[in-house]
Amino acid sequence: MSDANPAEMPERARIDHDQVKPRRDSRRRGRGEELQVPEAEFRSYYGRPIIKAPVWKNPDVPLYLFLGGLAGSSSVLAAMARATDRPTLRRAGRLAAAGGAVGGTVFLVHDLHRPARFLHMLRVLKPTSPLSVGTWILSPFATFAAATAATELTGWFRRTGDVTGVAAAAIGPALATYTAVLFSNTAVPVWHEAHRHMPILFGASAAAAGGGAGLVFASVRDNEPAARLAIAGAAVELAIDEKMQHDLGMLSDVYDKGRARTLMRASKTCLVAGALGALVGRRRRWSAALSGLALMAGSALTRFGVFDAGIASANDPAHIVVPQRERLRQRQETTNTPSDRTTPSDRAFA
């Protein structure tokens, strides 16, 4: 069969399932971290993945996550800049909000395998489906943000633009954080098990992106709130990323290898450099712009890294079997009942 992510599929080598595979070196232990799940032997069906990796397209979906975050926080920045009379920051925020929302919508539609049916997304509103809820967040947001940007650019209907700008700002933060639910509400272990961290990670990443855009496009006279927001976002993002990887235990190995590792490292470098640059250099136009670019890049790289880590996690049967076995073992310990008839204890393999 044709797998949608052929490049991501592990090599279809013949693996003797009886062979006990000692997995995972002592990686991460050097940092004195406790593994939640003991490094375990596990069995699988020829080493094949158990769940299907997302068929979402790369870069469409990670870029959409980034643009949604950028747009969401920028809309609030713009509305606040309007209220506090910072015209260049207002303009930067409005344009970033509209650009992010429209660009994100394009990527989201392009990601569909039947893009002509994108309007089917609006057939229903299902609170059980984060993608449905997200569509109903994105659609009004994009409408308001685009209208606001149009009034900003043309100078027509400025009052209306102020109102739609506030409306977009009211929805914006939800656009920035719902994407965490979108990813967490899957069976992908490294996403699902991080469902307490991902909203904060994505929200902080959105703050870094929106603040970064403000630093790039607003004048130094107006950019102080953007710098503050971006620095705070970068700091929280760096911290929650550490916490997330720690709490993920053995699942975090996908962040420690391959492209996800490279992306997350690049993201951290960009965020640190951008935050420091914003701290000391926001008063100079060029250094403010460079810092803003670094912060936006750091935010985007985080999304790409999280996306890649999820693909790797879904393709690794150990990510399914080992934690679920551990869960079963713990449940059996707590209930301490002899296994009932339908789920006999697994006998030691001869």
Q: Tell which one of 62, 68, 100, 199 touches another protein (CB under 8 A).
A: 199
Nearest to 100 by CA among 65, 49, 50, 131: 65
Q: Which residues 170-189 are close enough to bind another protein by CB under 8 A?
A: 172-174, 176-178, 180-181, 184-188
Least distance to another protein, CB of residue 229, Å: 4
Residue 156 makes contact with another protein by CB under 8 A:
no
The residues in 202-231 that bind another protein, with binding defined as CB under 8 A, are 202-203, 206-207, 210-211, 221-222, 224-226, 228-229
Going by the DSSP 8-state scheme, the letter that residue 52 receives in this structure is P
**Two structure tokens written together for 332:** 């059996």
DSSP 239-306: HHHHHHHHHHGGGGGGGSSHHHHHHHHHHHHHHHHHHHHHHHHTTSHHHHHHHHHHHHHHHHHHHHHH
Residue 120 lies near another protein (rule: CB under 8 A): yes
Q: On the CB side of 29, how many CA atoms lie within 13 Å of its CA?
A: 9
* Closest separation in Å from C-beta 101 to another protein: 16
Binds another protein (CB under 8 A): choice among 129, 139, 262, 269: 129
Length of the chain: 350
- Which region, judged by CB under 8 A, interacts with another protein, from 114-122, 149-157, 252-260, 291-299? 114-122
In the chain, the amino acid numbered 49 is P
CA distance 92 to 258: 36
Taking the least distance from each CB to another protein, the nearer of 26 and 128 is: 128
Nearer to another protein by Cβ, of 31 and 341: the residue is 341
Span 292-331, contacts to another protein by CB under 8 A: 310, 314, 317, 320-321, 324-325, 327-328
